[in-house]
Structure 1
Amino acid sequence: MASPNDLQFQEFDEAADLLSADPEATTLSVSVTSTRAGGEDVKLDLTDEEEGLPESLCYSSKNLLGGQKSQGGFWTFEYYESLFNVDTVQVLDRVKGSVLPLPGRNFIKHYLRSNPDLYGPFWICVTLVFSVAISGNLSMFLTQMGNPAFHYRPQFHRVTIAAVIIFMYAWLVPVALWGFLTWRQSADRQVKGYSFLETVCVYGYSLFIYIPTSILWIIPFEWLRWMLILVAMVISGSVLVLTFWPAVRDEAKLIAVATVVAILLLHTLLAVGCKVSGSQ
Structure 2
Amino acid sequence: PHGSEIITGFGSLSEFEEAGNLLEANRDATTISIEDDEIKPEKQRQAAAFSPAGEDEDPLASDDKTELLSGQKKSVPFWTFEYYQRFFDVETHHVKERIIGSVLPWPGKNFIHTHLRRNPDLYGPFWICTTLVFAIAISGNLANFLTHLGKPNYKYTPEFQKVTIAATAIFSYAWFVPLALWGFLLWRNNKIMNLVSYSFMEIACVYGYSLFIYIPTVVLWILPYEWLRWCTIVVALFLSGSVLGTTFWPAVRDDHPKVIIAIMSSIVVLNALLAVGCKTYFFSKPEDLLPGELSSATEVTKAPHTT
TM-score computed with the length of structure 1 as normaliser? 0.80
Instruction: Tell me if structure 1 keeps the 8 A contact 2:192–2:255.
Output: no
The equivalent of 1:193 in structure 2 is: 197
Aligned with residue 45 of structure 2, among 11, 17, 41: 17
| CA shift for structure 1 position 277 | 2.7
Long gaps (5+) in structure 1 = 1-11, 30-44, 49-55
Q: Which is strand-richer, 1 or 2?
A: 1
Tell me which amino acid in the other structure corresponds to 2:164: T
Matches within 5 A, 1:178-217: 178-217=182-221
Aligned with residue 53 of structure 2, among 18, 24, 27: 27
Instruction: Tell me if structure 2 keeps the 8 A contact 1:99–1:209.
Output: yes
Secondary structure of the structure 1 residue equivalent to 2:234: helix
**2:100 equivalent to 1:96:** yes
Secondary structure of the structure 1 residue equivalent to 2:221: helix
For residues 78 and 171 of structure 1, do their structure 2 counterparts lie closer, same or farther at Cα, with a shift above 3 Å needed? same
The equivalent of 1:114 in structure 2 is: 118
Secondary structure of the structure 1 residue equivalent to 2:139: helix
Long gaps (5+) in structure 2 = 1-39, 285-307
Instruction: Tell me if structure 2 keeps the 8 A contact 1:28–1:61.
Output: no
Q: Distance in 1 between matches of 2:112 and 2:64?
A: 34
Q: Which is helix-richer, 1 or 2?
A: 2
| CA shift for structure 1 position 141 | 1.0
Q: Distance in 2 between matches of 1:101 and 1:130?
A: 25
How many residue pairs get matched?
Answer: 245
The equivalent of 2:230 in structure 1 is: 226
Q: Distance in 2 between matches of 1:147 and 1:265?
A: 37
For residues 126 and 14 of structure 1, do their structure 2 counterparts lie closer, same or farther at Cα, with a shift above 3 Å needed? farther
Instruction: Tell me if structure 1 keeps the 8 A contact 2:121–2:205.
Output: yes
The equivalent of 2:11 in structure 1 is: none
Secondary structure of the structure 2 residue equivalent to 1:241: helix
The equivalent of 1:271 in structure 2 is: 275
For residues 61 and 165 of structure 1, do their structure 2 counterparts lie closer, same or farther at Cα, with a shift above 3 Å needed? closer
The equivalent of 2:157 in structure 1 is: 153
Instruction: Tell me if structure 1 keeps the 8 A contact 2:178–2:200.
Output: yes
TM-score computed with the length of structure 2 as normaliser? 0.73
Instruction: Tell me if structure 2 keeps the 8 A contact 1:121–1:204.
Output: yes
Aligned with residue 253 of structure 2, among 240, 249, 252: 249
Instruction: Tell me if structure 1 keeps the 8 A contact 2:125–2:205.
Output: yes
Instruction: Tell me if structure 2 keeps the 8 A contact 1:206–1:236.
Output: yes
Q: Distance in 2 between matches of 1:19 and 1:112?
A: 48
| CA shift for structure 1 position 75 | 2.8
Q: Distance in 2 between matches of 1:13 and 1:64?
A: 33
Offset from partner CA, 1:200-242 (integer Å, 9 cap, x none): 1100100000000001111110111111111100100010000
Instruction: Tell me if structure 2 keeps the 8 A contact 1:124–1:208.
Output: yes
